[in-house]
Amino acid sequence: MNGPALESLRGALRGPVLAPGDPGYDEARGIYNAMIDRRPAAIAGCVDVADVRTVLSFAQDAGVELAVRGGGHSGPGLCLVDDALTLDLTPMRWVDVDQETRTARVGGGSQLGDLDHATHTFGLATPAGIVSTTGVGGLTLGGGHGHLTRRYGLTIDNLLSADVVLADGTSVTASENDHPDLLWALRGGGGNFGVVTSFTFRLHPVDTVGVALTVWPVDRTREVLQWYREFLPAAPQELTGFFALLTVPPAPPFPEPIHGRKVCGVVWCYTGDLEGDRLEKTLTVVNTPGPPAFHFTTPMPYPALQSMFDGLMPKGLQWYWRGDFFDAIPDDAIAVHEQYGQNLPTGLSTMHLYPVDGATRRVDAGDTAWAYRHATWSGVIAGIDPEPANADLIRQWCVDYWSDLHPYSMGGAYINFLGEEESADRVRGTYRDHYDRLAAIKHTYDPDNFFQANQNIPPATS
């Protein structure tokens, strides 16, 4: 990608093209995980479908490897490849809401905060992640789960259609009626099949939700997890709560006496009736495993809950994560959580267990590429710290924790929680019996595996 080639690309795009040495290049190649330090040959911002098609054609003609960036939240940094071309969708941040049909059409570079902001004014929302700066595209293509999942399913369960530019430049709309095989693959199959320039989602009535934070001393992890594993799956689907091991941050609403303490806890979201003291009555059970060190409840606009952790975990931290699905939390697994929770290596390092039961199980196992409809929790272990000097420390803690916990898992993981240096067998294990169908669809839409800067599914050979 020499000077004349880059100038040719710049002249053909409406969006910016940044190369090493250009003002803004280092900022543009920065992504959420600062542990990733890669230098693409160029970053091409796309403002519309025409730009996307131009970049794809340029990359193929030049024989340059391509990566695609939506929100830049990929833990392994799959949106950046050294000396390759990044097709950057971040200029395509827009949301159109149709109040009558309760749907939203969302640009491929949009973030969850864009979607939540646009839908909340109509008292609507769709299930998604828990950090508002997460890209809608990457989250959706991996499956997508969050505070609304027990009640309204996964993000992909609410994906009605997608506009896609294929490797050969063809633009198609994948829906139940047109290219249904492609829509099936996009519902959890990752970025293997094309560049998704827009998504259309089903929306649900969500406005003000009940939020609660409950933490116990970390040495109560056994009692709390033994209670949590029984209580939550039996709870009404209007109530969800992800379990966490963490260090209490020095910030509200946590009182100063517990700042810096290692704790176990649950972040609750209640989408039921908030009249009277319904939320408080629903959560009186938090005293069952022992008195909490802190328990806080409040009504909150849904977008405020979605952005509640943004300040705690901004862009630019060192991250190393791994994940697994779990259908149970046996006592031996709890012993692993106890050990590593007592030894959190840094103040931001954590472990989360996200509930993925409830409405998720109302979708047939064969209806989407998501292969773990009977999972109860999607777990992630994340070593996090601002200091690059601690990268090895948080990586080793994460790997050791995951290695000791993995035998109690279902074998595969949420594709967005796969980390660096994980094998092709892990990708296959994540898709289980759906893998061969995904490989066949890959052969149909991307037979040359042009889109391979992802958790890759090579095309079937026949």
Query: For residue range 150-181, what is the model confidence (pLDDT) as tens digits?
Result: 999 999 999 999 999 999 999 999 999 999 99
Residue that wins the pLDDT comparison between 3 and 324: 324
Structure tokens at 432: 């289980």
Residue 388 in this model has a pLDDT that exceeds 90: yes
Nearest alpha carbon to residue 44 among 32, 64, 35: 64
SS (H, E, C) 168-229: CCCEEEECCCCCHHHHHHHCCCCCCCCEEEEEEEECEECCEEEEEEEEEEHHHHHHHHHHHH
pLDDT value of residue 462: 65
Residue 420 in this model has a pLDDT that exceeds 90: no
Nearest alpha carbon to residue 185 among 377, 462, 460: 460
Q: Give the dihedral sign, CA 373/136/310/390.
A: positive
Render pLDDT for 269-321 as a digit per residue (tens, 0 to 9).
Answer: 999 999 888 899 999 999 999 999 999 999 999 999 999 999 999 999 999 99
pLDDT value of residue 2: 76
The pLDDT > 70 percentage for the chain reads 100
Structure tokens at 241: 């709560």
Q: How far apart are the first and last CA of the chain?
A: 34
The pLDDT > 90 percentage for the chain reads 95
* Burial class for 450, CB neighbours closer than 10 Å (0-12, 13-18, 19+): middle
How far is it, in rounded angstroms, from Cα 210 to Cα 148? Answer: 12
Q: Stretch 335-343: mean pLDDT, rounded? A: 98
* Mean pLDDT of all residues belonging to the chain: 96
Q: What share of the chain is helix, strand, coil (3-state, %, to 5)?
A: 35, 25, 45
* pLDDT band at 204; cut points 50, 70, 90: very high
Q: Where are the beta strands (DSSP E) in 4-61?
A: 17-18, 42-45
* pLDDT band at 419; cut points 50, 70, 90: confident
Helix axes 424-431, 435-445, angle to 10 degrees: 110
H helices present in 111-152, as ranges: 112-120, 136-142, 149-152
pLDDT value of residue 277: 86
Contacts of 225 (CB under 8 A, 6+ apart): 243, 264, 329, 334, 337
Domains located in the chain, CATH noted: 3-88 (3.30.43.10), 95-205+431-445 (3.30.465.10), 208-417 (3.40.462.20)
- The CA-atom distances, in angstroms, between 302 and each of 1, 111, 121, 248, 277 are 45, 15, 11, 23, 19
pLDDT value of residue 424: 86
